[in-house]
Amino acid sequence: MNQTVWITGGSEGIGRALALRLCDDGAKVAISGRREGRLAEVAAMAATRRGEIYPFPLDVTDRDAVAKTAAAIEAQIGPINIAVLNAGTHHKMSADEFSSDIFEKLIEVNVMGVVYGIEAMLPRFRSRRRGHIAVVSSVAGYRGLPYASAYGATKAALINMCESLKPELDKANIAMTVINPGFVRTPLTDKNDFLMPFRMEPEDAADRIAKGLARRSFEISFPRRFIWGLKLARCLPYAVYFLLTRRLVR
């Protein structure tokens, strides 16, 4: 690829797997996350690969730190070609546990952490008249699901934001991609206590994402059989949809 890629949430899960996958393609990959030790471990794995991985510790909820990290990456490695805003978290919440604290935490990380990344990159991409922003959302953003009122709301917000920005960014020659994975084996999904159909390994997810980024696709979603079922569910009338989702309530 011979490109510079910035991945937030790059120390584990999908971010880690994608960093290694793009490094295999020859990219220079900057990875960010809060755990410096984990970042260093991933960066060390580049020694036997075609590209390079550079650790840049970061808390994406710190607006100033996000802007400074973007500047530091470009100063040390070179202009960023692709920004993959992947950092996010999950918290299962039932109606009995409904809490504004949980909403605030998820919005701060999942939404504002991405917003700060876009805010840091857009002026750079506009000045160069090129660039690529990729936002990792989730199929949970397609429709409301039981126990995901906070998490799903943040992911729906990301999808809507990307759809809104794309027409303007197209005119500026800036690609916009929204990534909507199904279940992928990560430290977050390992905590789930329910059936996760078609759960994928992070390396397989990273391969799908890398290929979609190369095509500059607007949406990258997988696995296909799971995705089409959920997209069909978006077309169902409420009476039918709630008949199905009530079965998920224990």
What residues are labeled active site?
Answer: 151
Q: Which residue, 92, 138, 100, 136, is CA-closest to 117?
A: 136
Tokens of 189: 């999904």
Contact assessment for residue 82 and residue 128, using Cβ atoms and an 8 Å cutoff:
no
Neighbours of 1 (CB within 10 A): 19
Indicate if the alpha-carbon torsion angle 113, 118, 119, 124 is positive or negative.
positive
Identity of residue 231: K
Q: How many helices (H) does the chain have, and how many strands (E)? A: 9, 7
Find all residues with CB under 8 Å of 18, minimum gap 6, and list them: 7, 10, 84, 86, 205, 206, 209, 210
Identity of residue 169: L
Contact assessment for residue 33 and residue 86, using Cβ atoms and an 8 Å cutoff:
no
Question: Which residues pair with residue 52 across a beta bridge?
Answer: 28
Beta strand pairing call for 28-33 and 52-57:
parallel
Q: Identify the residue whose tokens are 């078609």.
A: 198
